[in-house]
Amino acid sequence: MRAPVRVVDLTCDLFDGMPTYPGDPPFRHQFVIKGSRDGEVTLSRVESGLHSGTHVDAPLHFIPGGDSVDRVSPARLVVPADLVDLTSKGPRQPITRDDLVGRVRPGRAAVLYTGFSALRGSEEYLHAWPYLDRGAADYLADVGVAAVVTEGMSVAGWPGAKGFPWSPLVSEEDVAYVHVRLLRAGVIIVEGACNLGELVGCEEPLLVIAPLKVRGAEAAMARVLALC
């Protein structure tokens, strides 16, 4: 008999006051109508930037004229994955080519497990995530991975931002390079994932990456599941 499939939710929840990338619009959820008994309608609304929580970056995010998120083929959103244990990486540390060599395969998602999502809700979560450096982005693009999944709010490092006190870890040029290198190579970027540690021991996880189909958008919030 075939063993039952275990479904792991790699999606961070969305809620009022949740952490968002510094400078991005805040996430707001508001009830418009609240039913008080069976049969009465409850209705709510959401206001948010599309990079809130777990989300997918489409090429348009960094490449003018690139595909928007609704144009990403569904066939590219269901992919086998390689879990790369990077829990030795601390906050603010780069993930380098040497960290990845021989640990990812073509046509698969590189799931970068650092444990950083455990800091969600702290100040460090807003700027200090481990990040891909240029060499790591080159390596993933050259290998031909299908996707990269990271726990930080960006796959690249924190470049600093006006009005925020944290020192830059990388330049704005580095941020652009990492994103463009991956997106031009056809790599789907998933940022802000949670619960990656639950994939430890899962031999052949299959990822289902389901961004909202927002016409013409550069990104979209996503539900990301792993089947083990």
Residue 35 resides in a domain:
no
Residue 79 resides in a domain:
yes
Residue 36 resides in a domain:
no
- Domain limits for position 178: 7-14+49-227
Residue 39 resides in a domain:
no
The rounded mean pLDDT for the chain is 97
Q: Which helix (H) or strand (E) holds 220?
A: strand 219-227
Question: Among residues of the chain, what percentage have pLDDT more than 70?
Answer: 99
Categorize the per-residue pLDDT at 1 as very low, low, confident or very high, splitting at 50, 70 and 90.
very low
Residue 131 resides in a domain:
yes
32 close to 181: Cβ distance less than 8 angstroms? no
Question: Is residue 82 packed enough to be buried (19+ CB in 10 Å), middle (13-18) or exposed (0-12)?
Answer: middle
Stated pTM of the model: 0.96
Residue 93 resides in a domain:
yes
Rounded-to-integer distance, Cα 92 and Cα 94, Å: 7
pLDDT, tens digit, for every residue of 7-18?
Answer: 999 999 999 999
pLDDT, tens digit, for every residue of 47-76?
Answer: 999 999 999 999 999 999 999 999 999 999
pLDDT at 55: 98
What residues have CB less than 8 Å from 57, skipping those under 6 apart?
51, 155, 179, 183, 189, 190, 191, 218, 219
Q: What is the domain-level CATH number for residue 60?
A: 3.50.30.50
Residue 27 resides in a domain:
no
Q: Is the pLDDT of residue 195 over 90?
A: yes
For the chain, the domain total comes to 1
pLDDT, tens digit, for every residue of 34-50?
Answer: 999 999 999 999 999 99
pLDDT at 203: 87
Rounded-to-integer distance, Cα 163 and Cα 9, Å: 34
Residue 43 resides in a domain:
no
